[in-house]
């Protein structure tokens, strides 16, 4: 399968590293904002073509699919562009930064019937998979999820500390992970939300701190705290408080409520959530089926984000 990847930054590299471990998939084109560094990255991954325009990459012969790791503000339009060009597409989280754009992508997917998958990686991380299996088997039921998403980002920088050409967002990007995971794990629809945001950064123009409460139609609740002001341990930490045990998920580690480790290393072919996400994308294309984390499945997450944003005014 020949694919192209747009966005040669920190997350694009994570996808390229994961795809190296997947048989019968070849990245034939890399798209970036500036040609020289894009070409340098392409050469290091033995990718033949480099571009600054997504349309040029999609026009390559025999390309079946695209992976988008571009700035959030470009996701919806580029996902639609890929499908209108007849290509399957995986767009990194978030699908969009508005409800109307999210709906637009979903409409085009329905019209074309192509695979359109969104990079909600938490669905694929082994610790969350381990819990999902037990919830599905009715061994566990979530009473509450308590989640902390903390970074120290008072400048436009990416995960590697390099400058960004765009501004990240706590609600439309980072909260999307938890809002989707909460509904995915409970199997229930969020019916009540409450959101508060802290002061906006004078240069970045975004809220640097946020607090969100959610409740499903089955009664489960979620408390989510987010910050770009946190100067300490970074990342997202999940506490699952269930009817039959408490579990803590940190990156690729899973522990019980007493901080005793649970081995999830043999749950899947890899511990790399991005690689597992890409494997699902390619398998769905090959098998002609809807992938886990399809635009249809994650759409309700963006409805909830929109409802929270309306509360901010």
- The pLDDT tens digits of the residues spanning 267-300 come to 999 999 999 999 999 999 999 999 999 999 999 9
Question: Is it true that domain 2-119+274-293 has CATH number 3.40.50.300?
Answer: no
Given the structure tokens 């999307």, which residue do they identify?
Answer: 176
pTM, rounded to two decimals = 0.95
**Mean pLDDT by groups of 10 residues along the chain of 313 residues:** 95 96 97 96 97 98 97 97 98 97 98 98 97 97 97 80 80 97 98 97 92 98 97 93 97 95 95 97 98 98 98 89
In this chain, the answer to whether the domains covering 2-119+274-293 and 122-269+300-312 adopt an identical fold is no
Query: What per-residue confidence (pLDDT) applies to 153?
Result: 84
Query: What per-residue confidence (pLDDT) applies to 161?
Result: 73
Taking the C-alpha atoms of residue 67 and residue 118, their distance in angstroms, rounded to an integer, is 10
Query: What per-residue confidence (pLDDT) applies to 159?
Result: 67
Mean pLDDT of all residues belonging to the chain: 96
Q: In the chain, where are the structural domains located? A: 2-119+274-293, 122-269+300-312
**Record: fold of 122-269+300-312:** Dihydrodipicolinate Reductase; domain 2 (3.30.360)
Q: How many CA atoms lie within 13 A of 146 on its CB side?
A: 7
**What would the pLDDT profile of 177-216 be if each residue is shown by its tens digit?**
999 999 999 999 999 999 999 999 998 889 999 999 999 9
Query: What per-residue confidence (pLDDT) applies to 166?
Result: 75
Rg of the chain, C-alpha, whole Å: 19
For the residues of 234-301, what is the DSSP string, one character each? -EEEEEEEETTEEEEEETTEEEETTS-EE--TTSSS-S-HHHHHHHHHHHHHHHTSPPTTBHHHHHHH
């Amino acid at each position: 399968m020949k694919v192209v990847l747009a966005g040669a930054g920190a997350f694009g590299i994570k996808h390229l590293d994961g795809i190296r471990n997947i048989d019968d998939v070849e990245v034939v084109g890399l798209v970036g904002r500036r040609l020289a560094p894009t070409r340098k990255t392409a050469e290091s991954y033995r990718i033949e073509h480099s571009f600054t325009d997504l349309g040029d990459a999609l026009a390559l012969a025999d390309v079946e699919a695209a992976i988008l790791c571009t700035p959030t503000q470009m996701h919806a339009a580029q996902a639609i562009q890929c499908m209108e060009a007849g290509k399957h597409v995986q767009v990194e989280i978030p699908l969009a930064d508005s409800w109307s754009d999210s709906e637009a992508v979903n409409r085009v997917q329905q019209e074309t019937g192509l695979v359109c998958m969104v990079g909600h990686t938490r669905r694929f991380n082994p610790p969350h998979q381990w819990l999902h299996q037990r919830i599905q088997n009715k061994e566990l039921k979530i009473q509450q999820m308590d989640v902390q998403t903390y970074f120290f980002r008072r400048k436009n920088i990416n995960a590697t500390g390099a400058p960004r050409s765009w501004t990240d967002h706590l609600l439309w990007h980072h909260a999307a992970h938890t809002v989707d995971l909460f509904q995915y794990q409970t199997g229930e629809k969020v019916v009540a939300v409450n959101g508060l945001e802290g002061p906006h950064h004078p240069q970045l123009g975004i809220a640097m701190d946020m607090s969100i409460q959610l409740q499903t139609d089955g009664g489960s609740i979620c408390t989510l705290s987010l910050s770009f002001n946190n100067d300490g341990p970074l990342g997202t930490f999940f506490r699952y408080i269930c009817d039959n045990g408490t579990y803590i998920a940190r990156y690729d580690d899973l522990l019980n409520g007493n901080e005793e480790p649970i081995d999830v290393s043999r749950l899947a072919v890899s511990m790399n959530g991005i690689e597992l996400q890409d494997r699902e994308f390619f398998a769905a294309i090959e098998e002609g089926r809807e992938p886990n984390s399809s635009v249809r499945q994650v759409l309700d997450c963006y409805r909830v984000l929109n409802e929270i944003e309306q509360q901010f005014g």
